[in-house]
Amino acid sequence: MIDNCFTNIRSQHQYFNALYDIAIPELTSNKRIKGYPRVSKNTSEYLFHKAIQWDDAHSFEMRGRDGLRVMSGGLWMDMGFGSNNCLDDWIVDISECKIIDKIDEKCPKETRF
């Protein structure tokens, strides 16, 4: 399931969104998340490896706003899942996450691509 998120895509944002869609299916385009899902250390390392591997393979296509190459795995490192050593592998804990309507004025500035 995770590996499928990294196939037949053209951008970091596509695998990022695909992973979040698996973890939180109710997160739609008109919703935001406050907080970060958490996974085990092993799962976290696997996700980072997949993100870095995809980014490295597509680095010639990826440029930041200033035209410079982006850091491989950087999007996932900045906005991906957190880790928790008490979780079993392949489990996503969303107990500390809150789904909020984007139109809510009190919504924090977390971004969903």
35-61: average pLDDT: 90
Separation between Cα atoms, residue 110 and residue 90, nearest integer Å: 24
Q: What is the pLDDT of residue 69?
A: 65
pLDDT tens-digit readout, 12-32: 889 999 999 999 988 877 788
Check pLDDT > 80 for residue 39: yes
Q: What is the pLDDT of residue 25?
A: 87
Q: Judge whether 50 lies within some domain.
A: yes
Helix (H) or strand (E) holding 49: helix 41-57
Nearest partner of 97 among 57, 37, 27, 24, judged by Cα: 37
Separation between Cα atoms, residue 113 and residue 18, nearest integer Å: 11
Query: Crossing angle of helices 12-23/41-57, nearest 10°?
Result: 150
Q: Judge whether 95 lies within some domain.
A: yes
Q: Judge whether 91 lies within some domain.
A: yes
What is the number of domains present in the chain? Answer: 1
Q: Judge whether 112 lies within some domain.
A: no
Nearest partner of 19 among 63, 57, 76, judged by Cα: 76
Q: Judge whether 113 lies within some domain.
A: no
pLDDT tens-digit readout, 54-81: 988 887 665 655 666 677 888 899 999 9
Q: What is the pLDDT of residue 112?
A: 45
pTM: 0.79
The whole domain housing 77 covers 3-101
Separation between Cα atoms, residue 36 and residue 20, nearest integer Å: 10
Q: Judge whether 57 lies within some domain.
A: yes
Q: Judge whether 21 lies within some domain.
A: yes
